[in-house]
Chain A
Amino acid sequence: FDGPNPTSASANAAQTNKDRKMASAEQLVLELSNPDLRENALLDLSKKREIFQDLAPLLWNSFGTIAALLQEIVSIYPVLSPPTLTPGASNRVCNALALLQCVASHPDTRTLFLNAHIPLYLYPFLNTTSKTRPFEYLRLTSLGVIGALVKVDDTEVISFLLSTEIIPLCLRTMEMGSELSKTVATFIVQKILLDDVGLRYICATAERFFAVGRVLGTMVQSLAEQPSPRLLKHIIRCYLRLSDNPRACEALRNCLPEMLRDSTFNSCLRDDPTTKRWLQQLVHNVATAGRVAALQSAGGLEHMLGGSVV
């Protein structure tokens, strides 16, 4: 099959190259099931996961690979509290998480991944509070897996996450995480809110709404001191989406941070016309809700006082 002409030769070379890549992916996946070779295979595979095509179905369908990755996860549970996770152990489990992120992102494996409840094994990581680097990295990578799930705008994903207490875990990171993990956690909440099921869920009770509203408000306050355009963008998108719900919009009249209505963030948003437009829309929505409510209560007063309105 060695074609004599140069075009076919280079095509063959490309094909050989691809085959070699796949062969090495297969070899590495095979090595994952061997505890002695696993650490190295995890590192190698997670580094090359972008260049291996269809790594996710390979990970999922090969024998024992997901089971082995789950072992990596539960094996560090004992060092979460008291927090004694070492940088090495953190790197190792984060490489395993990177492979799971790959499975979470792929359309052929996403549903299988959810169906086997794998995201729930990451929740204990999101529940940690240690501020050391190994823990920050662990939380960030775990959020990355959840982030990969919500990226695709799939109601099935949103329903799964809502049924498993993901919101309080995200809120927790939004309260105490690093700027980067705050951004990912806020992104996840934003994606959940953008789904109708998610918006309904969060606005279903005052408790839920205020839990989210309070954390968003706290983040806005801290952004005034330490600006982060990307975090601000997701926060504003969350508020704007909340304002789509009439009751939430009314509640925002009282709890939308003043800083979002004055000029505090003008310079932070200077280079981001989209977010600036979102913010204008948000302020407009809330003000309109205020007018409607004021009209209604004025009408109520009029009625009560027999027409003698001030």
Chain B
Amino acid sequence: GHSNVLSQYAAPLHFASGSLVEDEKMANLSFSDRLSTGGQGLSQVTPSQSPFSVSQLSTSIPNIGAHVVINPKLSALGLQLHFQRIVPMAMDRAIKEIMSPIVQRSVTIAMQTTKELVLKDYAMESDESRIYHAAHLMVASLAGSLAHVTCKEPLRGSISSHLRNLLQALNIGSEILEQAVLLVTNDNLDLGCAVIEQHATEKALSTIDGEISQQLALRRKHREGVGPTYFDASTYTQGPMGVVPEALRPKPGRLSLSQQRVYEDFVRFAWQNQSNQSSNAVPTSPLASSGVSISSGLSRAYGSATGQLNQGVYSSGQGAQGFGTVAQPMDLMSEEMDPGSQLISA
């Protein structure tokens, strides 16, 4: 549920330094502060903002059991049957746990990029279906790619921990258990990433039209008002297009073949289409895994982009929310730290 999502993102800090106790204390203080004020600027996952409900998700991860990989090595350990039952459950839980904020963030970013770039590049295009087509190709690729690259490490951790939890009842020796968890996680990580990528792609495709249609309607109106002179050369030699030489400009009417091809090429970058992925990747080094925990810890401290991007990067509301709760935690901190005040209370 949501508490899982939160706890995943609020994973314990594993900083290298020895000042952990203090960190935990501070973390607790400001975390409870966040909960009590509901300040969105600081919390990374605000469930109410998520476009997905958990029940929706469970119906939309189609039959993951049919796709999971159960490594034959596990039968040598005598664990194959257990894993056939447990792995789909662990995958399902892990994906649900981390998917929503990552998909939301990726889609938000990809939509904004696509809207800005497609409307710019297709400023002279009168055939709106071409504009929508280019926007679909771009937003699907960008949202999917961002979601995939962002989810990989968190998903790795989440799958492993769900596997461990589900295996606990079996009383397997911890060394064998860890081996099995590592094996299964690596075998199925790409599957999980693909599911999340797919969700981001679909979500982006279902939202982008609404995002650009308003702009296109304005353009249509303008064109109808101005009449045929809309495409008059003077219209697009003025303004920023003025600096762009003829050959590089978007032209009224048809684009050149190589120009069209740029947007068509976004199809090549759909991650799922890439065949050369290694799915048997082993976590590279202890450094990599500690890096992950640093990042999730810091993300917790700073809040992920999710909530803030949703509200518009430049909105003043965000500033007010983010900074509104300033005084309290800092006050708590100085009380904690000030030896004088401890003396007084002693």
Chain A interfacial positions (CB closer than 8 Å to B): 26, 29-30, 33-35, 54, 57-58, 60-68, 70-71, 74-75, 77-78, 80-84, 108, 112, 114-118, 120-121, 124, 127, 129-131, 156, 159-160, 163-165, 167-168, 171-172, 175-176, 197, 200-201, 203-211, 214, 218, 247, 250-251, 254, 293-294, 296-298, 300-301, 304
Pick from A82, A115, A250: contact of B116, CB under 8 Å: A115
Question: Judging by beta carbons under 8 Å apart, are A62 and B248 in contact?
Answer: yes
Since A165-B299, A204-B322, A293-B340 are in contact, a sample of 19 more A-B pairs with Cβ atoms closer than 8 Å, ordered by chain A residue number, is A61-B249, A75-B269, A78-B277, A121-B109, A129-B285, A131-B287, A165-B302, A165-B304, A172-B298, A176-B287, A204-B323, A204-B326, A205-B330, A206-B330, A206-B332, A207-B301, A209-B333, A251-B333, A297-B339
Interface string of B150-168 (1 = CB under 8 A from A): 1011000000000000000
Find the residue from B15, B26, B302 having the highest chain A CB count within 10 A: B302
Contact of A116 among B112, B150, B278 (CB under 8 A): B112
| B287-A129 in contact (CB<8A) | yes
With contacts A81-B281, A118-B113, A251-B333 known, is A67 near B295, CB below 8 A?
Answer: no
* B185 interfacial contact with A, CB 8 Å: no
- When distances are taken between beta carbons in the complex, the residues of chain A under 8 Å from B244 are 57-58, 61-62
Q: Which residues of A contact B343 (CB under 8 A)?
A: 297, 301
A-chain residues with CB within 8 Å of residue B250 when the two chains form the complex: 63
24 A-B Cβ contacts within 8 A? A35-B261, A61-B240, A62-B249, A63-B250, A64-B263, A66-B117, A67-B138, A74-B145, A77-B148, A120-B146, A163-B308, A163-B309, A167-B298, A168-B298, A201-B322, A203-B330, A205-B326, A205-B330, A207-B301, A214-B19, A218-B16, A297-B339, A297-B341, A298-B340
Closest 4 CB pairs of A and B: A297-B340, A168-B298, A64-B262, A206-B333
In the assembly, what is the distance between CA of A5 and CA of B237, in Å?
Answer: 35
Give a binary string over B118-141; 1 marks a CB under 8 Å from any A CB, 0 the rest: 001100000000000000001001
Query: Bound state CA distance, A218 and B19, in angstroms?
Result: 12
B230 contacts the other chain (CB 8 A) = no
Q: B259 — nearest CB in chain A belongs to which residue? A: A63
- State A250–B340 Cα separation when bound (angstroms): 12
User: Of B42, B112, B152, B266, which one neighbours A117 at CB under 8 angstroms?
Assistant: B112
Complex Cα–Cα for A176 and B291 (A): 9
B57 interface hit (Cβ, 8 Å) = no
Choose the segment among B86-94, B215-223, B313-321 that binds chain A (4+ C-beta atoms closer than 8 Å): B313-321
Beta-carbon contact of B149 and A64 below 8 Å: no
B residues 7-42 in Cβ contact with A at 8 Å = 15-17, 19, 22-23, 26-27, 29-30, 42
Q: Does B181 contact A (CB under 8 A)?
A: no
Of A61, A167, A205, which contacts B241 at CB under 8 A?
Answer: A61
A29 touches B248 (CB 8 A): yes
B288 interfacial contact with A, CB 8 Å: yes
Q: Is residue B212 contacting chain A, with contact meaning CB distance below 8 A? A: no
Q: Is the CB of B121 within 8 A of A63?
A: yes
Q: How many residues of B contact A (CB 8 A)?
A: 91
Q: Which residues of A contact B284 (CB under 8 A)?
A: 82-83, 129-130
B266 with A71: CB separation less than 8 A: yes
CB neighbours (8 Å) of A296 from chain B are 340
Cβ of B195 under 8 Å from chain A: no
Q: Which residues of A contact B340 (CB under 8 A)?
A: 293-294, 296-298, 300-301
A25 CB to closest chain B CB (Å) equals 9
Residues of A near B141 (CB, < 8 A) are 74
Answer whether residue B47 sits at the interface, using C-beta atoms and an 8 A cutoff.
Answer: no
A172 to B287, CA, bound (A): 12
Q: Is the CB of B329 within 8 A of A108?
A: no
**Out of A54, A57, A129, A164, which one reaches B291, CB within 8 Å?**
A129
Q: In the complex, which residue of chain A has the Cβ closest to the Cβ of B308?
A: A163
Residues of B within 8 A of A247 (CB): 330-331, 333-334
Q: Mark B83-113, 1 if CB is under 8 A from A, else 0.
A: 0000000000000000000000000010011
Contacts of B192 in A (CB 8 A): none
Residues of chain B contacted by A206 (CB below 8 angstroms) = 26, 29-30, 329-330, 332-333, 336
Q: Which residue of B lies closest to A82 (CB)?
A: B281
B30 CB to closest chain A CB, in angstroms?
A: 5
Bound complex: CA A129 to CA B289 (Å): 9
In the assembled complex, B56 has its CB within 8 A of some CB on chain A: no
